[in-house]
Amino acid sequence: MNGIRIFLRTSTVPRFLPASVTSTGQIRLKSTDGNDKDLGKDLGIDVNELSKKLDETMGKPVDQQPGYTPPSSDYMSFRKKKEESAHERSYIFGWKSAAFTLGMAGITCTILLYFRKIKLDEEEKRKKQLAGKARIGGEWELVNQDGKREGSKELIGNWILMYFGFTNCPDICPDEIEKMVDIVDMLDREKDPVPVVPVFITVDPLRDSVDRVKKYCAEFSPKIRGYTGSKEEIEKVLKTFRIYHSQGPSDKRAPDDYIVDHTVIMYLIDPEGNFFDYYGQNRRASEIANVIRTKVLQYERKKKVGWF
């Protein structure tokens, strides 16, 4: 019977119910038969002490009971944190997007400049190849306006603007020589001057003596360096620069009165003595000056980085 009694006693072990299901917020220790002392004796506990502690605990407000976790003081904290997190992600994404865009823009510009440079270099190379095929220019030597032997070797290191004509030319040669002088003066007046030596070479050596060439050049500008020579020497130079020339008919009573038909063109020679560019009669002085300025700057830039 004792065993049965113990079984019945233990079957009535008090159950602890949540405070939310009790109207008073408390629970009571209950037994179905026997007294509390016998139950406590069988279980080895002090029922009175346990009941007292339970009463004290369950009698406290919910927020003071063991295991209670207070709710957040800021009921909007989760939403606020979520918004802050979203803002932070948006900021990071925006910064990365901007950096990526700028980086791609820089790469694109670099690629475009690179291909533009390649195109310009190819055009320059093609132009030089065409000039090479035409075999324009080369070494030459004549007599200068002071009666001294001088030629391409002595002019190395200078940019040269070269024109071929004759002193008895009625109109075209004076116009072109004035244009050549204007070009040189424009380049000299620049903030960063581009020094160019104007050169006049006669196509009529029979009439253009040293003195005549000197006086003729002085009428236009003291900057001009004039050259003449023997018929053979002039023929050689004209052939070197592919200059066409043809002496016109003359009267027996005035054998020196004739016109020379010739190519009307200016050549730009670089400081190394090589053909660099050419300009026809239809080009204006200001236009040619701008072209020369640009080409000289490109040449000097490439020279500095060791391209030539």
Percent of the chain with pLDDT over 70: 63
Residue 135 in domain = no
Q: Report the DSSP beta bridge partners of residue 268.
A: 161, 277
Instruction: Please say which residue of 64, 93, 112 terminates a domain.
Output: 64
Residue 201 in domain = yes
52-56, 191-195, 209-213: segment of lowest average pLDDT: 52-56
Q: What is the DSSP string of 77-133?
A: HHHHHHHHHHHHHHHHHHHHHHHHHHHHHHHHHHHHHHHHHHHHHHHHHHHHHHHHH
Residue 213 in domain = yes
Regarding whether 59 and 157 lie in a shared domain, the answer is no
Regarding whether 151 and 278 lie in a shared domain, the answer is yes
Regarding whether 259 and 173 lie in a shared domain, the answer is yes
Regarding whether 26 and 157 lie in a shared domain, the answer is no
Residue 39 in domain = yes
Regarding whether 281 and 186 lie in a shared domain, the answer is yes
Regarding whether 180 and 45 lie in a shared domain, the answer is no
Whether residue 273 has pLDDT greater than 60: yes
Is beta strand 265-269 parallel, antiparallel or unpaired with respect to 275-280?
Answer: antiparallel
Residue 136 in domain = no
Residue 169 in domain = yes
Q: In the structure, what pLDDT confidence band is assigned to residue 304 with cuts at 50, 70 and 90?
A: confident
Instruction: Please say which residue of 64, 84, 102 terminates a domain.
Output: 64
Q: What is the DSSP string of the chain?
A: -HHHHHHHHHTT---PPPGGG-SSS------SSS-HHHHHHHHTS-HHHHHHHHHHHHTS-GGGSTT--PPPS-TTHHHHHHHHHHHHHHHHHHHHHHHHHHHHHHHHHHHHHHHHHHHHHHHHHHHHHHHHHHT-----EEEETTS-EEETTTTTTSEEEEEEE-TT-SSHHHHHHHHHHHHHHHHHTSSS---EEEEEEES-TTT--HHHHHHHHHTT-TT-EEEE--HHHHHHHHHHTT--EEE---BTTBTT---EEE--EEEEE-TTS-EEEEEETTS-HHHHHHHHHHHHHHHHHHHHTT--
Give the count of alpha carbons within 13 A of 287, CB side only. 7
Q: CB 108: neighbour CB atoms within 10 A?
A: 10
* Domain region containing 194: 141-304
Provide the number of structural domains found in the chain.
2
pLDDT digits (tens, 9 = 90+) for 48-88: 676 666 666 666 666 666 666 665 555 455 566 666 666 56
pLDDT digits (tens, 9 = 90+) for 106-149: 888 888 887 777 777 777 666 665 555 457 999 999 999 999 99
pLDDT for 253? 83
Regarding whether 151 and 47 lie in a shared domain, the answer is no
CA distance 162 to 279: 10
Higher pLDDT, 287 or 70: 287
Q: What is the CATH number of the domain that holds 290?
A: 3.40.30.10
Instruction: Please say which residue of 32, 64, 96 terminates a domain.
Output: 64
pLDDT for 235? 96
Residue 127 in domain = no
The structure tokens listed for 110 are 């670099």
The structure tokens listed for 262 are 């010739």
Q: Is 109 annotated as a binding residue?
A: no
Residue 87 in domain = no
Q: What value does the mean pLDDT take over residues 260-264?
A: 95
Higher pLDDT, 48 or 249: 249
Q: Is 173 annotated as a binding residue?
A: yes
- C-alpha 132: how far from chain center: 33
**pTM, entire model:** 0.58
18-32, 151-165, 226-240: segment of lowest average pLDDT: 18-32
> Which of 36-40, 90-94, 140-144 is modeled with the greatest confidence?
140-144
